[in-house]
Amino acid sequence: MIPITILKIKSDNTGFEMVGQINSYESLVIERIWNGIGEFRLKLNANTKYAEKLEYNYIIIPKKDYHKAFIIEYKKLTQGAGGKGEEILEVKGRSLTSILKKRILYPLSSQNDYTNTGKAETIIKDIVDKNFITTTAGRKINLLKIENNQNRGNNTSIVARYTDCIDEITKLANTSSLGFRIDIDVVLGKWIFKVLQGINRVATQSQNRRVIFSAEFNSIQDQEYTRDRYNTRTQAIVGGEGTGISRVIVETGNKTGLDREELFIDAGDIPGTDATAVSKLSERGNQELVKYKELLTLETTVLQKSPFKYEEHWDLGDFVTVMSKKWVLTLDAQIVKVEEIYESGKIEIKPTFGNNTPSLISEIKKRYDKPLKEVVKIDDANKSTYKTYSSNYIDNTYAKKTEVTTSASGYAFSKLNSISSSGYMILNTSGQITDGTDFTCGTDRITCNFNGVIEVAIDLTLESVADSYVYTQIRKNGSVINEKRMYYDNDETDIFSYFPITLTAIMQVQQGNYVQIYNTISGTTVGGYSSICAKRIK
Q: DSSP of 179-213, one letter per residue? A: EEEEEEETTTTEEEEEEEE--B--TT--SS---EE
Q: Which residue has the higher pLDDT, 447 or 462?
A: 447
Average pLDDT over residues 202-207: 91
Q: Are 476 and 513 in contact (CB under 8 A)?
A: yes
What is the pLDDT confidence band of residue 468, given thresholds at 50, 70 and 90?
low
Q: Which residue has the higher pLDDT, 365 or 179?
A: 179
Rounding to the nearest 10 degrees, give the CA dihedral for residues 441, 444, 450, 454.
100
Beta-bridge partner residues of 424: 518
> Pick from 180, 181, 186: which is nearest to 64 by CA?
186
Q: What stretch(es) of the chain map to CATH 2.60.120.40?
A: 389-536
Rounded alpha-carbon distances, angstroms, from residue 22 to 13, 39, 46, 51, 376:
24, 18, 11, 7, 47
Q: Which residue has the higher pLDDT, 290 or 391?
A: 290
For residues 161 and 538, what is the distance between their CA atoms, to the nearest angstrom?
A: 6
pLDDT tops 70 at residue 368: no
Element at 368 (helix H, strand E)? helix 360-368
Please classify residue 62 by burial: count the beta carbons closer than 10 Å to its beta carbon, then call 0-12 exposed, 13-18 middle and 19+ buried: buried
Q: Are 6 and 53 in contact (CB under 8 A)?
A: yes
| pLDDT value of residue 529 | 56
pLDDT tops 60 at residue 281: yes
Q: Which residue has the higher pLDDT, 208 or 460?
A: 208
Q: Alpha-carbon torsion 321, 322, 325, 327, what sign?
A: negative
Percentage of the chain with pLDDT > 70?
75
What is the pLDDT confidence band of residue 358, given thresholds at 50, 70 and 90?
very low
Rounded alpha-carbon distances, angstroms, from residue 140 to 137, 189, 220, 466, 469:
5, 16, 45, 57, 52
| pLDDT value of residue 224 | 78
What is the pLDDT confidence band of residue 399, given thresholds at 50, 70 and 90?
very low
What is the pLDDT confidence band of residue 379, given thresholds at 50, 70 and 90?
very low
Average pLDDT over residues 295-310: 79
What is the pLDDT confidence band of residue 89, given thresholds at 50, 70 and 90?
very high
pLDDT tops 80 at residue 163: yes
Answer whether CATH 3.55.50 is correct for domain 103-197.
yes
pLDDT tops 60 at residue 430: no
Q: What stretch(es) of the chain map to CATH 3.55.50?
A: 103-197
| pLDDT value of residue 451 | 85
pLDDT tops 80 at residue 35: yes
- Exposed e or buried b per residue across 4-33, where buried means at least 16 C-beta atoms within 10 angstroms of its C-beta: bbbbbbeeeeebbeebbebeebeebbbbbb
pTM greater than the 0.95 cutoff: no
Q: Which residue has the higher pLDDT, 346 or 360?
A: 346
Average pLDDT over residues 73-91: 85
| pLDDT value of residue 367 | 38
pLDDT tops 80 at residue 360: no
Average pLDDT over residues 172-185: 95
For residues 4 and 82, what is the distance between their CA atoms, to the nearest angstrom?
A: 32
pLDDT tops 60 at residue 415: no
Q: Which residue has the higher pLDDT, 488 or 84?
A: 84
Instruction: Count the neighbouring beta carbons within 10 Å of the beta carbon of residue 265.
Output: 18
Share in percent of the chain as helix, strand, coil (round to 5): 15, 45, 40
**Residue 268: HSE in the Cβ half-sphere, 13 Å Cα cutoff:** 20
pLDDT tops 50 at residue 535: yes
| pLDDT value of residue 516 | 82
What is the pLDDT confidence band of residue 418, given thresholds at 50, 70 and 90?
very low
Percentage of the chain with pLDDT > 90?
39
Q: Which residue has the higher pLDDT, 226 or 62?
A: 62
CATH topology of domain 389-536: Jelly Rolls (2.60.120)
| pLDDT value of residue 428 | 53
Average pLDDT over residues 366-373: 35
Instruction: Count the neighbouring beta carbons within 10 Å of the beta carbon of residue 459.
Output: 26
With H, G, I as helix, E, B as strand and everything else as coil, classify residue 283. helix
| pLDDT value of residue 79 | 83
| pLDDT value of residue 312 | 92
Q: Which residue has the higher pLDDT, 306 or 6?
A: 6
| pLDDT value of residue 372 | 28
Average pLDDT, the chain: 78
What is the pLDDT confidence band of residue 515, given thresholds at 50, 70 and 90?
confident
pLDDT tops 60 at residue 115: yes
Please classify residue 40 by burial: count the beta carbons closer than 10 Å to its beta carbon, then call 0-12 exposed, 13-18 middle and 19+ buried: buried
